[in-house]
Chain A
Amino acid sequence: MQDIWRLITTWGTSPEFNMGLDEALLLEGDQPTLRLYTWSPDALSLGWFQKATQVSEIESASATVRRLTGGGAIHHEGELTFSISCPQAHPLYRGPVGPSYARIHGAIILALRQIGLPARLRGEEPLTSDNPASSMCFHHSTPLDVAWNGRKGVGSAQRRKAGRVLHHGSIKVSSTPLEGSIATFENASEEHTAQSFAPLLLEHMRQHLGLQLVPSVPSREERELAEDLGARYSTDEWIRQR
């Protein structure tokens, strides 16, 4: 049986809307949903438990939000961002957290290899992009992270709430001064932007994960909820709650 998912793409949407829509889909989504998106303006997102005072990059960022998902800070610029929201009982997410990353990252790796990047799961070898003193997600790695050329190129994190999962991920097309020394598309065999890479990623998600992705847009109720929920993501109270 085909696994039918909604596919929502929003290019150049605001940090508040991006976070608000992901939360709306986590709370209210009645069908598994894959979102692909980019950010305008570019923004720094803090991990749920990060202390704002320990992320000096906030001072240089165009905008800042705090994600619902864990992990380190990410500068959302020059990247294809994805989110998945679905029941925790879905076969992709059922059971321990680790294998769920391996499944999703497996599809991403195939798409990256198609454009000539030697992507793989990091495994036990540390990366040259690792930097214990940094607060940035891409400067820390685990065995299940996606890396190529000795550096981390995909960052992802999950939130599990009331039997549902929100999985955030960032696939780096290029680096920025806030997030240097990471794996990017620089040495790919084809030139790609976040948007031009999206169809390749979707094809491998269809094939590798067995998903039937049905293009969709957020319903009016989802948009309204996204706007309501999203408004708080960039407030000082929200960002500096830790």
Chain B
Amino acid sequence: MRPDDRRYATTHEWAKIDGDSVIIGITDFAIDELCNGNEGDLVYCDLPEVGRMVEIGETFGEIESVKAVSDLQAPITGEVVEVNPVIEDHLQVLAEDTWGKGWMVRIRSKAPNLDHMLDAAAYEEHVAAAH
């Protein structure tokens, strides 16, 4: 079971409310789809500049594995206030600590609300259907 302290997008991003902002990452399912169990296959991750405004559903970054580029979609609207500096040089952190040190960006939103996203149980069902 994936953590139930956060919500999940059908496009495989996770979002966790932290004070007046939301931390965003991608799920273990997304990582496994891209690198098929070999985290060394992740080669590049392009994340936004701090200060950029993103709209819900907008592409906020891209991740590349040896064989595919995948867009990262913002699950909420707001301003990017922090980008995980570890990822650029240590992509493996996405697989090693997906729910913790593998976060990607922090987005500040006026009224953080993740009710439109899936809870952990619903996401489990979603990925089970995707296989």
User: Which A residues fall within an 8 A CB radius of B?
Assistant: 48-49, 68-71, 89, 94-99, 101, 142, 144, 156-163
Find out whether the CB atom of A95 lies under 8 angstroms from the CB atom of B130: yes
Q: A96-B36, A97-B33 are in contact. Are A144 and B71 (CB under 8 A)?
A: no
Find out whether the CB atom of A49 lies under 8 angstroms from the CB atom of B130: no
Q: A162-B73, A163-B11 are in contact. Are A97 and B68 (CB under 8 A)?
A: yes
Which residues of the other chain, B, contact A162 by a CB distance below 8 angstroms? 11, 71, 73
Find out whether the CB atom of A49 lies under 8 angstroms from the CB atom of B36: no
User: Which B residues fall within an 8 A CB radius of A?
Assistant: 10-11, 32-36, 43-44, 46, 59, 62, 64-71, 73, 130-131
Find out whether the CB atom of A142 lies under 8 angstroms from the CB atom of B69: no
Find out whether the CB atom of B44 lies under 8 angstroms from the CB atom of A49: yes
* Smallest beta-carbon distance A50→chain B, Å: 10
Find out whether the CB atom of A69 lies under 8 angstroms from the CB atom of B69: yes
Find out whether the CB atom of A160 lies under 8 angstroms from the CB atom of B130: no
C-alpha spacing A57/B11, complex, angstroms: 36
Find out whether the CB atom of A159 lies under 8 angstroms from the CB atom of B69: yes
Find out whether the CB atom of A96 lies under 8 angstroms from the CB atom of B44: no
C-alpha spacing A69/B33, complex, angstroms: 16
Q: A48-B64, A163-B11 are in contact. Are A96 and B69 (CB under 8 A)?
A: no
Find out whether the CB atom of A158 lies under 8 angstroms from the CB atom of B130: no
Q: From B69, which residue of chain A is reached at the shortest CB distance?
A: A70
Q: From A160, which residue of chain B is reached at the shortest CB distance?
A: B70
* Smallest beta-carbon distance A191→chain B, Å: 32
Which residues of the other chain, B, contact A159 by a CB distance below 8 angstroms? 68-71
Which residues of the other chain, B, contact A70 by a CB distance below 8 angstroms? 43, 64-65, 67-69
Q: From B71, which residue of chain A is reached at the shortest CB distance?
A: A161
C-alpha spacing A160/B66, complex, angstroms: 13
Q: From B44, which residue of chain A is reached at the shortest CB distance?
A: A49
Find out whether the CB atom of A142 lies under 8 angstroms from the CB atom of B70: no
Which residues of the other chain, A, contact B64 by a CB distance below 8 angstroms? 48-49, 70
